[in-house]
A and B are shown apart, each in its own frame.
Chain A
């Protein structure tokens, strides 16, 4: 990553978060101090509040334009997690008398799965669709899962672990034909990276995040379709901001940052995607040359910035430990994750627990360059050689006349293996 010293690890975790773009940080800074727009955007009647409110509404317009939505469809939240919760519980609470069935998928983010599980505890039925081996959920699967009492379908646009893109327009059409099923899409991984057209897609609710697209952490939005006539019950009460759906003082600097970041990302989305896809391909070719690697997800229906790979014959935690001093990546390893379980997404795709644990997610970004790819391939190649040698999968040879490679030290010929 440019701007870091040669010894700093390469940052390959842009799907987790991105640095705030300098232009974005500048705009945010102008909303914080006494000489800037620090006023409460909810304070009418004086210049400070008016100035902040103007910036908030300008940011709302920028986010709407980046997502193909109307400005009055943007509800500010603290991030995609809150937006997902507001969408799921908001719909569930409002439409509870019309039905108590939700459709989602096993590979959704926890910010969708956990609210669904909470609703199950409250007596709702939830259908968890199983994607194919590449992570795709088809419109036909959704159609087959819809029931008379289905009030919500919640599926992500781009999977955060494997990068698979879902055909949300086709699924939206299925939900529209059903009539009673509102369609919520978690677009945290796609906004700023893929063209998103909320109005055209037929989606009813869409969750957005700023910090995956070079904006600040702590801000996001829920797009609520006006044309679809979707109603939500609020989760947070107080000052009645955001049309009463999300009370609380709107953080001017945060929403300004989100607006600036998404506008910036949308400006050269296509060119940037071409550049990153080329780098991603070089990365894959380099990793593939190491041998014993399996690409996870749909190579032909995936975002360009994300590559998920399982590595055979290495233990997951050791792989991450060997790679992480040189490259910052995410892993499917149980020991490295907060949940303590191997990646449920990869397990849902049919990967074994061992392969799920020995997987790495490489996510490229705006500041990733060819030299970073070279360093990444070298670091992973070195780690694989080291661990496969220590594990007896490949010969490490005799260095001092005592070690031998007599054929019994191989990985699969020893009792207890």
Chain B
């Protein structure tokens, strides 16, 4: 199978592969290894700002094809600094075009979106815990 330069670069180097730990980290996963595609995202929220929290860091793990791994790496790289409620940096369709992914792999990119949204949601749910802990600790 032919892979375009973007897919090749993000697949080969897989920037952002790994996991995050910490109270402000939310984790989301989708798919299954037995079915051939499994994706997990960890996203760390920055709750220090007033208003909508921002995404401070993100990491991914993936058991998947090169297009899916490249999509995960690209999303993680481009999501930092965006609002936590902003969804994917690009739509699944745009991601597909960017990576030159064949149409039959659209379902795998939707798995990426599912995992991403689950991770964002999990991170947002951490806000109450994180803010309460910060309040208990008092002013820095």
The answer for the CA separation of A357 and B36 in the assembled complex, in Å, is 10
Q: Which of A20-28, A213-221, A408-416 makes up part of the contact surface?
A: A408-416
Cβ–Cβ contact B36 & A409, under 8 A: no
Contact status B1-A416, CB under 8 Å: no
Instruction: Report yes or no: B14 in contact with A386, Cβ–Cβ below 8 A.
Output: yes
A406 to B38, CA, bound (A): 19
Interface string of A373-417 (1 = CB under 8 A from B): 000000000000010011111001111001111101101001111
Determine if B29 and A390 form an interchain contact, defined as CB atoms under 8 angstroms apart: no
Given A354-B36, A357-B36, do A403 and B66 touch, yes or no (CB 8 Å)?
Answer: no
Q: Is there a chain A Cβ closer than 8 Å to B52's Cβ?
A: no
Confirm or deny: B50 has a beta carbon within 8 angstroms of a beta carbon on chain A. Answer: no
CA A397 – CA B11 in complex, angstroms?
A: 19
How many inter-chain residue pairs (CB < 8 Å) link A and B? 89
**A318 to B65, Cβ gap below 8 A?**
yes
For B33, list chain A residues within 8 Å (CB).
354, 411, 417
Q: Is B26 an interface residue (CB 8 A)?
A: no
Give the shortest distance, in Å, between B34 (CB) and chain A (any CB). Answer: 7
Cα separation A391 to B11 with both chains bound (whole Å): 12
A321 touches B11 (CB 8 A): yes
> B interface, how many residues as a size bin?
20 to 34
**A336 at the binding interface (Cβ < 8 Å):** yes
Could you tell me if B36 and A416 are in contact, using CB atoms closer than 8 angstroms?
Answer: no
Question: With the chains together, A28 CA to B19 CA distance in Å?
Answer: 60
Complex interface: stretch among B55-63, B87-95, B124-132: B55-63
Across the interface, do B64 and A315 meet the contact criterion of CB distance under 8 Å? yes
Q: Which listed residue, B18, B29, B37, touches A396 by the CB 8 Å rule?
A: B18
Given A318-B64, A415-B29, A417-B32, A405:B19 Cβ within 8 A: yes
Q: Give Cα A128 to B57, complex, Å.
A: 56
| Residue in chain B with minimal CB distance to A388 | B63
Q: Are B11 and A315 in contact (CB under 8 A)?
A: no
Q: A403-B18, A406-B19, A416-B30 are in contact. Are A392 and B61 (CB under 8 A)?
A: yes
A335 close to B (CB within 8 Å): yes
Q: Are B61 and A409 in contact (CB under 8 A)?
A: yes
SS class of chain A's interface: helix, strand, loop or mixed?
loop
On chain A, the residues within 8 Å of B66 by CB distance are 317-318, 321
| A321-B18 CB under 8 A given contacts A357-B36, A391-B63, A392-B40 | no
B64 cross-chain contacts in A, Cβ below 8 A: 315, 318
CA distance A335 to B108 in the complex (A): 13
Determine whether the beta carbon of A409 is less than 8 Å from that of B31.
no
Answer yes or no: B20 CB below 8 A from chain A CBs.
Answer: yes
Chain B 1-36, CB-CB to A under 8 Å as 1, else 0, gives 101000000011010011111000001011111101
Chain B residues in 8 Å Cβ range of A354: 33-34, 36
* Most interface-central of B14, B30, B62, B66 (chain A CB within 10 A): B66
Residues of A within 8 A of B65 (CB): 315, 317-318, 321, 335
Q: Which residues from chain A contact B34 at a C-beta distance below 8 Å? A: 354
Chain B residues in 8 Å Cβ range of A317: 1, 65-66
How far is B17's CA from A391's CA once the two chains are assembled, in angstroms?
9
Contact among A314, A315, A397, A402 with B44 in the assembled complex (CB-CB below 8 Å)? A402
A314 to B38, CA, bound (A): 11
CB-based contact B11/A414 at 8 Å:
no
B11 touching A409, Cβ below 8 Å:
no
Highest count of chain A CB atoms <10 Å: which of B21, B57, B62:
B21
Give 7 nearest A-B pairs by CB, closest first. A409-B19, A392-B61, A403-B18, A404-B21, A416-B29, A391-B63, A321-B66
A sample of 20 cross-chain residue pairs with beta-carbon separation below 8 angstroms, ordered by A number, consists of: A315-B64, A321-B3, A321-B11, A321-B66, A335-B65, A392-B61, A399-B18, A403-B20, A404-B18, A404-B21, A409-B18, A409-B19, A409-B40, A409-B61, A414-B29, A415-B29, A416-B29, A416-B38, A417-B29, A417-B38
